[in-house]
Each structure stands twice: as C-alpha cells, then as structure tokens.
Structure 1
Amino acid sequence: MKWAVLVGAAVVMSGCSPDSDSDLQRLALPKGSTDRTDDIWELWLGAWIAVLVVFLVVFGLIIYSAIRYRRRHDDEIPPQIRYNLPIEALYTFAPVVIVAVFFFHTVTSQNRVLERVDEPDHTIEVVGSKWQWAFNYMDEEAADNEAVFDIGTPQQPAELWLPVDESVRFELKSPDVVHSFWIPEFYFKLDVVPGKINSFDLSPTREGTFTGRCAELCGVYHSRMIFKVNVVSRADYDKHIAELKADGQIGAPVGSKEADNIAGVKGKDKTGRVDEVQSGAGDYKDGAGD
C-alpha cells in the first residue's frame, strides 16, 4: 500500500510546473521569473508530495478503522486496549523523521538560492524606510561617480527596473525599522535590517511587470510599501537609466544617504564626531533628490 500511495502522489504531481499558466499546476505559486526558481519549486513540490502522502495514509487508516472495527449485528463491543507500543512509537518517530527530512531539503535549497555570483552584471542598493523604497543603481554612474536612483512615495510607489537575463546583486539597507524585500514572482524575500547589509544575487528570466511588497509589519503605512518591478530588455533598461539621469535623479535620495545610520543610535558625522541621530531618514519628498 505504501508504494501505491507514493506512486499515486508522483503521478498526480507530475503535471505540475512553475512555468505553467494554470494556478493549479503551479500549486498556488506565482509564475517563476528568475534563475533561482527551480530550487524553491523543488522544495515546494516536495512539501506537497509529503503532505499528500501523509493525508492519504492517515485518511486511509481512519476509513479502515471505521469499517474494520465497526459495531457488528450481534452488538458485540470490539476488544478495548489501553495502549499499543508499536503505534505509539510510530506516532513519535514518524513526525521526527518528516521534520528532519524537511529541514535537510530546506537548508539545501537555501544554500543554492543564496549562492553568490562572482561578478554580477549589476549592483542595486535597496533602501527601505518609513514608508517607501528607494533603488540606487550603483553601477550606472553619472557625473562625479554618483549613482542613479529611482524613488517613490506612499502615494506614488517607486519602480525598480531590471534587464532580463542579466545577474543582479541586491544590497538591502534600512535607516529606521525592519522591513522585508519581497517580489512573489522571484520566489524570494529577505529582511532589511537597520545596521546590517543583507544581500542576494539572481537573474530575472522573464520580461514583465510585477508587484513588490514589504513582508514585515513595519508601521502604520506598511500596507503602502509596495513597488513595481519592470523586467525589460537591455535597450529599455538603458533608456530608463538615461531618463533618470536627464531628470537629475543622481546621487543618493533622502533616506538613502543616511541609511548607514540608525534612528536613535549614536553614529559618526562627516567630521568623525560621535553624535546622536535624532530621527529616521524616511521623509521622502515626492521623488525629489536631496
């Protein structure tokens, strides 16, 4: 019976794919869009197979017990037992084995997803602050070797532009509270922690417009911390960078310049003096630079 259940589960899941147009065949995940999709998909698919096997076994035992030990026409009560050592051992060790297997595959997938690219094509500094995002294109230098930036407001969300099939390193910063950088179609999210730079690499593999979100409850306007992600051709990407330069979005926007300081924590000013940072740097000015 065990092998029949496993074969049945494999057959049911064999038609599933992260590239399918069907939500059912993607098992409720969005359509994958990066080179790290397969690692997360395999973990997700394995979890569904495990859940299906456990469900079929448990449900099968319930039905079997209800039929096998139902009250007969002679009204005789089945033998009553106080405990069953083999069954109790199974109930103890089976969950431990299941959790251990899940842990192993989770760590394996995590390590593959977090693998670094030796020389990424692009580096983008992501600054999450109360309550909007800023994106600094660190390798798209303009005058005085200053980066180009995209910025928004809670009323007009920021836009992130990425060239398709080119590797990108994201460096995450926050000047105030913990945020979480999440693009569902990328199958990845990572916390943006004050005083710490988290980073990850990936390559977008599908053109399109996606919606990014903050996945950490960060304050009163948390729900407005959304942004658009435009994965485009290299020509369209270069055109957008040129437009940012022409609009004067060069250097670091308000919030990004102070992202290395934490609100309420002593830091060093430009002269090297230790001073008290009085407030967070999240007061964005309708897309204007500093």
Structure 2
Amino acid sequence: MKKLLTIPLFLLLAGCDITVLNAKSETGQDQAFLIWFSFGLMMVVLLIVFVLFARFVWKYRETSLNKDTLPKDVKGNKKLEITWTTLAVLLLAVLAVPTVAITYNQSPILSSSEETEQSAVHVNVTGQQYFWTFSYENGKETTNKLIIPANNTIVFHLKSKDVIHSFWIPKLAGKTDVLPGKELIYKIVNPEEGTYEGQCAEFCGVQHTKMQFTTEVVSIADYEEWLGK
C-alpha cells in the first residue's frame, strides 16, 4: 500500500536524489519515517476527498430530469459534522504521537543539560565563515572533513565563532542550528559506513556555498587507528 501511494511522487520527482529519504543512520531513518508516515496519511485524506468529490459531481449533475428542479435547502447534518471533526482530530492525534516522540528524542539541547555518555564518540564542531572545524577527543583537528566510526552514538558539540550556521548531513540526520555564544548537543545514532556530503543550510554570508564538508564513516578499528589510539 505504501509503495502504491508513493508512485505518483516518484514519477513527479524522477531523476532527483532525495537523500533525506535514503537515510544511512537510525537518526535519519526515524526522520524519514515521519516524512513517509505523514505523506501516507495525507494521501489517504486526498484519496477520500477526490472519491467523494467525483461521487457528488456525478450524483448531483444536471440532467434532463432535474434541470428544472430546485434542490431542497437542508440545514447542516450534525452527525456528519461530528464525524468529520472526530476523524480530523484522530488523524492529527495519530500523526502527533510519533512526531512528538521522535522530535523530543532528537532535538538538540544545551550542553549544560547533557549527561556525559562514556560510550559515545564526542566531536566538537565549530562553524566559522566559511569553513567547518572538527575537534576530536584526543585534540586532533580536521577542516571540512569529518571522520566518525560506524555503528556508534556520535555526540556533536556545536558552536559558532561568528554568525548562525546550520549543520546538516542529509543522509545521516536533519539540520541543526549552530549558534554563536552557545553550545548545542546533537546526536547521530548508528551511522552506516560510507562517504556523505555535508553543508551549512543557513545563509551565513556571501561565500555561504563554500561551507561544505565531507563525512567519512569508517569502521571502529579504522577510526581508532586514524585517531592514534
């Protein structure tokens, strides 16, 4: 059923690389689920509306038998009004439950409220016009190249040296603002091995397009070897 509902979308966007729907981490997969889930609900509503629309157009069309007949003026049907209102509330509730749960779990938080996760990999991320600096637990630094281990929880400590930036790796997770004067914590859970493109998704100046970086997700053994552990 899900595939049938998405056929029109795929036909419309044929040839496009919709990276956010091809997630390569648990974090990204949860976000992609919300997109598919909300899209599916909207398609169900749209289908019902079009079916009813077609039925009423056909049923109440003008014919030789009724062209001189004035339809009876009928007041609102309370049962139907209550039904439509109840269905709308139920649909919103069904959509709200996973949305609130996933959004609450994945929302970035201030560093002062974050409990230390000993088993996680911590990376300090600094946005600056117009490049990214990544600092690792042993003090090693890279510029515009992020290296992290696969199948781990990655905790990013996001900071900005100047203006508001937005940290975004489309295939791994959604956008997260990087604010001057504040440190935000954001997690990506269990990324898959591979190379992914990242960028700043917030216009931050005339050379905004240069704020791109490459993310390499490698095995834990290769990561520890690169880190020099």
Same fold flag (TM > 0.5): yes
Q: Within 2, Cα distance between the matches of 1:99 and 1:217? A: 33
**1:71 and 1:78 in contact (8 A); partners too:** no
State the partner residue of 1:211. Answer: 197
RMSD of aligned residue pairs (Cα, Å): 3.2
Q: Within 2, Cα distance between the matches of 1:58 and 1:78? A: 26
Shift, 1:71, TM fit = 0.5
State the partner residue of 1:127. Answer: 126
Find the residue that maps to 2:39 and give its secondary structure: helix
State the partner residue of 2:98. Answer: 105
- Aligned structure 1 segments of 4 or more residues deviating by more than 6 angstroms: none
Identity of aligned residues (%): 29
Q: Can you list the C-alpha shifts for 1:123-162, whole angstroms capped at 9, x where unaligned?
A: 100011112111111x1x2xxxxx11111xxxxxx11011
Q: Which runs of 5+ in 2 are unaligned?
A: 7-13, 109-114
**1:209 and 1:231 in contact (8 A); partners too:** yes
Shift, 1:236, TM fit = 3.1
Shift, 1:176, TM fit = 1.3
State the partner residue of 1:65. Answer: 56
Q: Can you list the C-alpha shifts for 1:1-25, whole angstroms capped at 9, x where unaligned?
A: xxxxxxxx457469xxxxxxxx99x
Asked if 1:174 is matched to 2:166, the reply is: no
Q: What code does the residue aligned with 2:106 have? A: V
Matches within 5 A, 1:36-55: 36-55=27-46
Q: Can you list the C-alpha shifts for 1:168-220, whole angstroms capped at 9, x where unaligned?
A: 21000012111111111113221111111111223343111111111222222
Q: Which runs of 5+ in 1 are unaligned?
A: 1-8, 15-22, 142-146, 152-157, 243-290
Q: TM-score, normalised by structure 2?
A: 0.77
Q: Can you list the C-alpha shifts for 1:37-74, whole angstroms capped at 9, x where unaligned?
A: 44323322321221111111111111011111110123
State the partner residue of 2:111. Answer: none
Higher RCO (C-alpha under 8 Å, 6+ residues apart): 2
Q: Rate the CA distance shift 1:83–1:191 in 2: closer, same or farther, 3 A.
A: farther
**1:214 and 1:226 in contact (8 A); partners too:** yes
Q: TM-score, normalised by structure 1?
A: 0.63
Total equivalences in the alignment: 213
State the partner residue of 1:162. Answer: 148
**2:153 and 2:187 in contact (8 A); partners too:** yes
